[in-house]
Every structure is written in structure tokens, then in C-alpha cells.
Structure 1
């Protein structure tokens, strides 16, 4: 622990000690932050093994200088993992200016303010460099842009947000949100700020789909098709047709083109083949797990908490016999493949 940052500077022995084979190309680095802490985690490509934390801090915030320190302490240059996270983290790592800037995309020179061209124009000049002072670049990039994975989960949330914002403010859909998600604030409901489980509830709810007509229902069905058949675990061969239908239906509904919609519209070929295998959603589940651990330690967020988390991973291996076995199960790590953590 240095300067309020708990980290592992020698990752390979840690992964091997947990019983996982370590090949750098088989892992991806996930960054996430909340109001309470900043976390960096190793996620296995294919999600065969559980998440392995390698950095945690309650004092470092999402800033360029802090991310530079984090990458140095975990020896990122030695491993060169691909990186996933939300677009704010990606923006910081690539040295881009934050906020609503003119050139938001790190792949091309998409003009975020030329709204009249957003739907009619699909091809934009490619970015040839990330030079400081050019096209909203204010810092030297900390990572190679080719090591960046587009975040399917956050793109899904962004699509949902644009859909909700285009709805009638007094329409049946927003009234349905008020009844179904009564525990959310009006600001969140009107802004379309929903998480993954809430969106899945709406997808399974036929009453919500039946509350819409014409353009709204067409856009919603297109969103569901893209979410299930492209942004999820499985990708069907004609996914590009589904994405084009989504873009067209959003245009008819009057949705704005955010940078997340732009990625689907102009950079569909940049996405990996299996988004479910490299999604940041597994990292979001870790975020919920470590939140429980942070509550348990009540402010003593140091190396002992991180060691305790790793020990929980070790104890969850059903093939290992311990002197004292828990009879209650581990409520801390509820993950689909947790019992496969140490199966080679």
C-alpha cells in the first residue's frame, strides 16, 4: 500500500497462487470507480475464471495523473492487457478532453455538434494520431488505442437512455416507468438512467411493450434485438442488419446520436466477435461484490481487505479441503462460474 493505493505489482504469482493459469493475452484489465473507491481488476477473456482485483483506492479519483500512477504501479507496460471500462475511463487513458467536446470519438473525427449529419453520414475521417493539442487531445495517451475494448454494457445503457429521452414526457411509457420503478427519482426515470437488471425486467415485461405504438414500439423491438443478438453473449450472422434497423428506428423516433450510438453506426467492425466474452459486465458484478466487502471493513480499506477478498476466492474452490469449512456458504461472491475458478 503506497499513497493510499493498494496494489499488486507482481500479477503473475498472484494469479497462479489462486490456481489460474496466467497468460497476459487471456486477461483484460477493467477500471471502475464509484463515489467511494477506484478499482482495477483482471477479468478472464471468456469469463471462465472469477475476477481478480489488483488495485484499490479510496483516495485516488478518476484523473489523468492518478491513472498514470495506477498503470505504473501495477506494471501495465510489462503485461499490456487489453482494457475495458466506461467511456470516461477510456477518455482519460487516451488523453482526451472530457465533457461534451467536438471530437469525442477516439477512432475517427466524428463531429458531435454536426447533428444534421449524424444519421445521414456514416463514414468520418479516421484519427491518424493522438497528438497533444490536436482535436481535443490534451495529454499524452497512456495506452495504445488498439488495446481499448468498446464497452458493450455501457453502450447498451446509452441506447436505453437515448430511447427514453425521445419519449413523450406525458406519455404512457414514462407513466409505466413511474409505476414499475417507483423507488427511482423522477430525474433518473426521465433521463433514462437504468441499470442492466432493470432493462432486463422491461425486456421480459410484455405489458411495457404493449404500452407502445408505432415508432416507439419499432425502436424498442430493434433495441431488444440488438441487445440480445449482438451486445450480449451470442452474435447472429446478420447482426449488421439488426444494427441498421436500430439506427433507422432511432432516427424515426427522433433520438439524438450520442457517441455510443455513433460507435454502432460508424464502427460496427471494430467490435470483437464475441462481446459476451470481453464485456465489462463481469467487472460490474465485481463492483457489487467489493462494495459488500468495503461495508464489512467500515473504513479500514487496506491490504487486509484485498487479501481477504482473494482468500474468499481461494475458499470458494470446491476441490480444496480446508481445516475449517464454512457451513453458510459465501454470500459475498455470487457469480455464475465461481466454482470453476480453479478448474484447469
Structure 2
């Protein structure tokens, strides 16, 4: 992680633009109140998202470097210019933190996708010092808003406790099964811990996802990497253990106050039901894109994903990662989080 680079000459900026895929430049002066207000936000984004050669943050004191400010027609401060491969892509004027944050997150995700193309066929993105791994490319104009998931309120029914927890699904790192140890989990305390979720008594899973802000949800990315006949290892399972499969039928419900029971879900009409085909799964990353009817997902405070069945005859379903793609809106007043139980 690193903060913004201070630009002291036009030559330095020119060199930077040629050495980093994406460059974000803040124009400011020290006496401008709005410049000072947004400074902490900008520095925080730089710390989170900067990656050498991919995403670089810089700052230009417009009074000390008038030539640079004039060359990019910077008239009011603060101002932000986003460059991609050396060309101006977007200008943002004023202390609009939301617009700045959304623009930078979108471009950082694009940079991740470009960077990972050699490893994952151009579909995914790798997690560096900033930016999360993605299993598929982003639709134009939308960002990965998985960071808006309220992890405190997540709930997963019918999950096998020998595997990962519900929070595993929203980890920002790439699944370990994409690496050399295919099918193996991350090592914790010297013991391999699977970094995916599997169903328990049958193939069904019920996942409740609350958000910290109201979202417009465009796409849900689901990554599932069950072992294949070509895998060398057997995940240390007994030979007669049933291999897990990918989800097939997924029912999606919006704006529920808590998770649904399995019988309850079957009695409620889903906001949308998607049936995944084998061809929907990317061969490199094991990711399928659930493209939603966007008009029905315009003001979403929570989602319930009901995996009703899986591919084939197996009674175990596996999910490695989930990403929510769309637009973030106003923060919700979460109040006191209370766990909803089923006891009387």
C-alpha cells in the first residue's frame, strides 16, 4: 500500500503516465477548504487501491505547478483527472467523494481484469494490495459493490461445518482452488482449511445477504470449483464420499428482514429465478454471471439466494465466492443489529 505521489514537474507526471495503466491525479492548493476536506478520503483510496504499474495515485499543487494545471484546463479546485494508458478518461470537479469513489473502484476493477488476463483467460482479476479478485469481467458502467455486504448479518442454512463459513463466500482473495493446490483450502494453524462452502444434508443452500447501503444490483457472480475427474487429489475425503457439484437453480428474493426457511421459500414467489447451464460457467475461473432483471433490483437492502438444486445427481453443492455487481446508494441506518432466531 502507498499514498499519492507528489508531482513536482511535468516530466515526472509524463513518466508516471507511461509507467502505470491507470493514474488518478488530484489538483489542489493548501488554502482551499474543499481540497482539505477530501484529502483524507483521497489518501485512504490511494492506500487501499494503489498497485505498482496498475493503479497509481498522484497529487499536484496547482499553485506550485501552474503549467500542469493549465495544460489540463484545471480551473476550479479540487479537481481530479483519471488517466488510462496515458489518456484522459474522466474529470471530476469539486469534493464529490461518492463520484470519485465509484469512478476509482470501477477503474481499479478494470485494471485487475486486465492484469489477470494471462492467468485466467481475461475473465478474472487478482487481488493485490488494493482491489478484490473477480471471477468475471464487470458490465460497463457498474462496479463490484460486495464491500457493501453487512457481514455481521450474514446467515447460511444447511452448510457443512467442516468447510468454510458464510464469510468465506465474500473473501476478497482468489479461491485457493485456482492455484496449485486445486481443491485444497488455505492453511490455518498448520491444518488445511477449505476456503469454500458445501451443503450438508442435501444439495440446497439458503443464503441471506444484508447490505450496509441501498443498492442497485445488476449482476451476481457465483464462483464454484468442484473437483473434476482430472484432479490429482481427492481433498483427503474417503473414496466413497460424494463429490460436490455446482449450483443449478437459484431463486433470488429481495428486501427480506431475515433469512427464509426452506419450506417458506418454496411458498414465496422469487423476485427472479435463474437456471444455470454448464455453458454458463467460465472454464478458467469457474464463475457464472447471474444477470438480473435490473428494473426489479433498483432499491435493494438485502438478498436471499436459495440454491434449490445442483448439477447432476449429487446431494452436495459447492460455492467458493460470491460477488455483487451494481451501484451503491445511500447508507442505511443499521441501528442495533439483532439476530433473528427461531425460538419462541
Greater RCO, 1 or 2 (C-alpha within 8 Å, sep 6+): 1
Task: Say which structure is richer in strand.
Answer: 2
Task: Say which structure is richer in helix.
Answer: 1
TM range (shorter): under 0.3
TM-score, length-scaled by structure 1: 0.24
TM-score, length-scaled by structure 2: 0.24
